[in-house]
Amino acid sequence: MIETRELTKAYGRRVVVDAVSMAVGPGEFMVVLGPSGCGKSTILRMIAGLEDPTSGEVVLDNRVANQLSARDRGVAMVFQDFALYPHLTARENIAMPLRIAHAGARSLADDMRRVEQVAGYFGVADLLDRKPGQLSGGQRQRVAVARAIVRDPRAFLLDEPLSQVDAHLRQQLRREIARLARRLRVTTLYVTHDQQEALALADRIVVLESGRVRQIGTPQEISSDPADVFVAGFVGAARTTLVQGAVYTDRRGSSVLDLGEQALNSDRVLPGRHTDRVVVALRTDALRPVPVDAEGPVLRGTVSFVEDLGAELLVHVATGLVGVPAAYASPDAQRSGGRVAPHQRRPLDDLEEPFGELVVRAPAGTRPRVGEAFAVEVDLDRVFLFDRSGGRIRVEAEA
Ligand X SMILES: Nc1ncnc2c1ncn2[C@@H]1O[C@H](COP(=O)(O)OP(=O)(O)OP(=O)(O)O)[C@@H](O)[C@H]1O
Q: Which is nearer to ligand X, 140 or 193 (CB)?
A: 193
Interface residues toward ligand X, by CB under 6 A: 11, 16, 34, 36-42, 193
Question: Contact, 123 vs 140, CB < 8 A?
Answer: no
Q: Is 51 exposed, middle or buried (0-12, 13-18, 19+ CB in 10 A)?
A: middle
The one-letter code for the residue type at 230 is F
3-state SS assignment for residue 93: helix
Residue 124 CB, nearest distance to ligand X (Å)?
A: 26
Considering the complex, state which of residue 15 and residue 298 has its C-beta at the smaller distance from ligand X: 15
CA separation for the pair 147, 259 (Å, rounded): 55
Question: Whose Cβ is closer to ligand X: residue 3's or residue 159's?
Answer: 159
381: Cβ–Cβ under 8 A, 6 or more apart, which residues? none
CB of 399 to ligand X, least distance (A): 44
Question: Given the complex with ligand X, which of 54 and 224 has the nearer CB atom?
Answer: 54
Minimum CB separation of residue 396 from ligand X in Å reads: 36
Name the β-bridge partners of 3: 23, 59
Q: Is 95 exposed, middle or buried (0-12, 13-18, 19+ CB in 10 A)?
A: buried
Nearer CB in complex with ligand X: 16/50: 16
Give the nearest distance from C-beta 14 to ligand X in angstroms. Answer: 7
Cβ 160 to ligand X, closest distance in Å? 6
Nearer to ligand X, 11 or 86 (CB): 11
User: 395 and 270 in contact (C-beta within 8 Å)?
Assistant: yes
The span from the CA of 246 to the CA of 85, in Å, is 60
Task: Look at residues 36, 30, 18, 31 and name the one whose alpha carbon lies nearest to residue 193.
Answer: 36
CB of 208 to ligand X, least distance (A): 7
CB of 228 to ligand X, least distance (A): 19
Contact (CB, 8 A) for 142 and 127: no
Strand partners for 144: none
- Report the length, in residues, of the chain: 399
Between 215 and 266, CB nearer to ligand X: 215
Give the strand pairing for 75-78 and 155-159. Answer: parallel
